[in-house]
Amino acid sequence: MHIHILGICGTFMGGIAALAKAAGHKVTGCDANVYPPMSTQLEAQGIELIEGFSPEQTKLNPDIYVIGNVVSRGNPLMEEILNQGLPYISGPQWLAENVLQGKWVLAVAGTHGKTTTSSMLAWVLEYAGLAPGFLIGGVPENFGISARLPQTPALAKSKQDANSTSPFFVIEADEYDTAFFDKRSKFVHYRPRTAVLNNLEFDHADIFDDLAAIERQFHHLVRTVPQQGLVVANGKETSLQRVIEKGCWTPVEKFGTDADWQATNLDANGSFDVIFKGERQARVSWEMLGEHNRMNALAVIAAARHVGVAPCIAIEALGEFKNVKRRMEVRGEVNGVTVYDDFAHHPTAIETTVAGLRSKVGKARILAVLEPRSNTMKLGVMKSALPASLKDADLVFCYGANLGWDAAEALAPISAKSKVYDDLDAMIAAIASEAQSGDQVLIMSNGGFGGIHQRLLETLNAG
């Protein structure tokens, strides 16, 4: 089958392209911005990419068009597809029908931590020899790729049963809408047997009116989990409790304080004991820091246990887990100044990221560099929460261009340690001028941020 993907360079749609290609389909695609690294990754897999959405692409005559949620009415190629009555489908629905059907799906949902947690879960299953497939909105360092089909487990290989591929598939389950013609959250398509509900806060203000609207979508996900499945839920989140109280027909295991799964005996180096229903399982010793990662780990251990991985094996696997790219990723060190790249963009994620770095570096200065780039942040819905989210930073540099609100006004409560710039070059120069040996520069954005990481390192080196 030939599929043509509209919006192919997004992380999710790029993952679908990779899976479709691996499954033997002919894959082509187009996007408004075809550039590395996604373009090079896709082209390396033999996937032809077209810049833009020209109507002439219908002459490719694919069997079906797979539509990403970046595409809206008025898109010239989409209008031509509609005018000609050509077959099209959303990315999540195509994935559900062609990859997930018949699989034991482990879906990781939540406002924060989906990528890290799904990466952890895929790695734990891999370590345990279950050879899962996965589609993750980032690149797990343990795998080096963001998506793959289920593999043949080592045990099956030893029995020379080459057709016995793994039944397991781990997916990052996003609550964002599916497509312009399907406004349900993506995750309702996935039909998980194991569902992880990591946390739930208000986000995506461009498509959700309030928290209750998101809770309804999460309840739609809960409704799809079978009686023989498992819902793993953050016991500290009242929003998730409300979701479950709307109706749940599946066993629930909670993690966090006063829950089924707990973390105790915490060390400054990040290690902790795992307790399940009052009984100690084993101790996690790993490279990760912060309460949010402990919570992620508890969720993963619970989900893995549901598919038969003993907690002691899951805990052993976590000791070898490597973080995802763009999650507290060290991009370089120049003259004693360390530069980090992190995907954090929601105030809660910003707060936990800065706190995690603080626990790692002690009293060293943290220079937080922020680009409020997400749709929710651009709308200014979360601006009042920004000052508190940056409390653990010593200095704050905020890129205020292209916002519909005044960043300096929003950061007024911490004006003594914050500066706002509309010019990226000027901001890079200011950071480089301020940075001293021993400083930790934490750059947070869910986009490329104008290549600031490398440009700052070069500026520091030149100075």
For residue 99, give the DSSP letter. Answer: I
Q: Are strands 440-444 and 366-370 parallel, antiparallel or unpaired?
A: parallel
pTM score, whole prediction: 0.78
Are 2-90 and 102-318 equal in CATH topology?
A: no
Q: How far apart are CA 314 and CA 60, in angstroms?
A: 46
Q: How far apart are CA 357 and CA 293, in angstroms?
A: 12
Q: How far apart are CA 51 and CA 157, in angstroms?
A: 42
pLDDT tens per residue, range 224-253: 999 999 999 999 999 999 999 999 999 999
Q: How far apart are CA 393 and CA 193, in angstroms?
A: 41
Q: Are strands 272-276 and 261-264 parallel, antiparallel or unpaired?
A: antiparallel
CATH architecture of 329-462: Alpha-Beta Complex (3.90)
Q: How many helices (H) and strands (E) does the chain have?
A: 16, 23
Any idea where the domains of the chain sit in the sequence?
2-90, 102-318, 329-462
For residue 186, give the DSSP letter. Answer: G
pLDDT tens per residue, range 362-388: 899 999 999 987 766 777 777 888 999
- Positions in the chain short of pLDDT 70: 35-37, 155-163, 202-206, 325, 375-376
Taking residue 215's Cβ as centre, other Cβ atoms within 10 Å add up to 18
Q: Do residues 331 and 341 touch, judged by C-beta distance below 8 A?
A: yes
Q: How far apart are CA 12 and CA 289, in angstroms?
A: 27
Whole-number pLDDT of residue 159: 53
Q: How far apart are CA 143 and CA 151, in angstroms?
A: 13
Task: Count how many residues are written for the chain.
Answer: 463
What is the DSSP code string of 399-432? E-TT-SS-HHHHTGGGTTTEEEES-HHHHHHHHH
Secondary-structure class of domain 2-90 per CATH: alpha beta
Fold classification of 102-318 (topology level): UDP-N-acetylmuramoyl-L-alanine:D-glutamate ligase (3.40.1190)
Q: How far apart are CA 420 and CA 387, in angstroms?
A: 13
